[in-house]
Amino acid sequence: MSRPPFEERQQELNPHRQEERDHAADMAYSQLRQRGVRVTGEEAALDLAALVEAVERFENAVSALGGDRMTNSPDSTQPDDPRLVLPTRRDDEGVRDYVRRIDRATEELGASS
C-alpha cells in the first residue's frame, strides 16, 4: 500500500519516523495495559491516542474527587466506589465507542461532585 504524499515527504525528512511512531504506540499500549485497559494491538494510531486521553481524563476526574486509582482499579475486587472504576472495554466494543463510554463516565463523575 502506498503512502500519501505527505507521509512520503515526512519519511524523507525523518527516516526514523516509522520507528518513532511504533515506539509511541508501544508506550501507549503499555500504559493502557498497566491501567487495566484491554487493547488488541490492532488499534489505529489516532484511536489509540484518543483512548489514552480519555483514560487520563477519567483518572483526573477520579483524583479530583479524592479517589484512589489503586483501590478503584478495574481489577479491584472491592473498589471504594464503583463509579470511580474505569469502565471495562467490552469484547465487541470498538475503540471509539469505548472512548465515548469513558467520556460519559467522566462527565457523570463531574456531575456528581
State the DSSP H helix or E strand holding residue 102, giving kind and residue range, or none if neither: helix 95-111
pLDDT tens by residue, 10-57: 666 666 767 888 888 999 999 999 998 999 999 998 999 999 999 999
pLDDT tens by residue, 56-68: 999 999 999 988 7
Domain boundaries, the chain: 5-111
Backbone φ, ψ for residue 58 (5° rounding): -65, -45
For the whole prediction, is pTM greater than 0.85? no
The mean-pLDDT minimum among 20-34, 64-78, 88-102 falls in 64-78
* 3-class secondary structure, 78: coil
Cell numbers describing residue 62: 477520579
Cell numbers describing residue 74: 478495574
Q: Which of 54, 83, 89 is nearest to 71 (CA)?
A: 83
Backbone φ, ψ for residue 96 (5° rounding): -65, -40
